[in-house]
A and B are shown apart, each in its own frame.
Chain A
Amino acid sequence: AQKITQTQPGMFVQEKEAVTLDCTYDTSDQSYGLFWYKQPSSGEMIFLIYQGSYDEQNATEGRYSLNFQKARKSANLVISASQLGDSAMYFCAMREVEDTGTASKLTFGTGTRLQVTL
């Protein structure tokens, strides 16, 4: 069974600073995918970034980058130049592919609540 661990229930960061949100995972699969989602208080889950297990380069999307360390089984999210609008809950998730390969299950971590301050 797959497992995702986020050890930081809450984080504070000052506006314009960078912040790292931790995520470790456990799986016996060779092929897997790791995702980060942002959930503002409105409730919608917003996809941020994806890293495949065979990707050699760390994923980047604008101000978001994923620090993927396969041997350590970690997939930390780095947000650069934090903005007030970044205040939200952040979930790390791992993809598990169902048998027919046409749909996937996401297993989520418990989340980290990020608060950006002035």
Chain B
Amino acid sequence: DTEVTQTPKHLVMGMTNKKSLKCEQHMGHRAMYWYKQKAKKPPELMFVYSYEKLSINESVPSRFSPECPNSSLLNLHLHALQPEDSALYLCASSQERALYEQYFGPGTRLTVT
């Protein structure tokens, strides 16, 4: 099973709302990732968790707050977002060794109004 699931598929939120994106994998992967993808652009890395610890933060604004409650789950908490944060948010996971490919989920399409 090479499936990464993400919920919700679509999310519309106002600039004062608080919401969360959820990502789950059951492949035993120990590294999990959040990417942001604007229309017609490649994905851009936001965060990397390795063994449930934040390993990489690509200077993401604090209105995005990641959380890794256990090795299978990855959340992205959203607060006070701006309209320019509207994008496709992709979650990915990979095996503990860095040699292997990352498997992506279907993404959450976020619209900030």
Which residues of A are in contact with B by a Cβ distance under 8 Å?
33, 35, 37, 42-47, 50, 52, 91, 95, 97-98, 100-106, 108-111
Contacts and interface: CB of A to CB of B under 8 A. Distances in A.
A91 B42 contact: yes
Nearest to A95: B98
A102 B42 contact: no
30 contacts: A35-B101, A43-B107, A44-B104, A44-B106, A45-B90, A45-B92, A45-B104, A47-B101, A47-B102, A47-B104, A50-B101, A91-B42, A95-B98, A95-B99, A97-B98, A98-B48, A98-B50, A98-B56, A101-B98, A102-B51, A102-B96, A103-B33, A103-B48, A103-B55, A103-B56, A103-B94, A104-B31, A104-B98, A105-B48, A105-B56
A102 B30 contact: yes
A45 B91 CA distance: 10
A111 B42 CA distance: 7
| Contact residues on B (Cβ < 8 Å of other chain), bracket | 20 to 34
Interface of B: 30-31, 33, 41-43, 45, 48-51, 55-56, 88, 90, 92, 94, 96-99, 101-107, 109
Contact of A44 (B48, B55, B107): B107
Nearest to A44: B106
A43 B96 contact: no
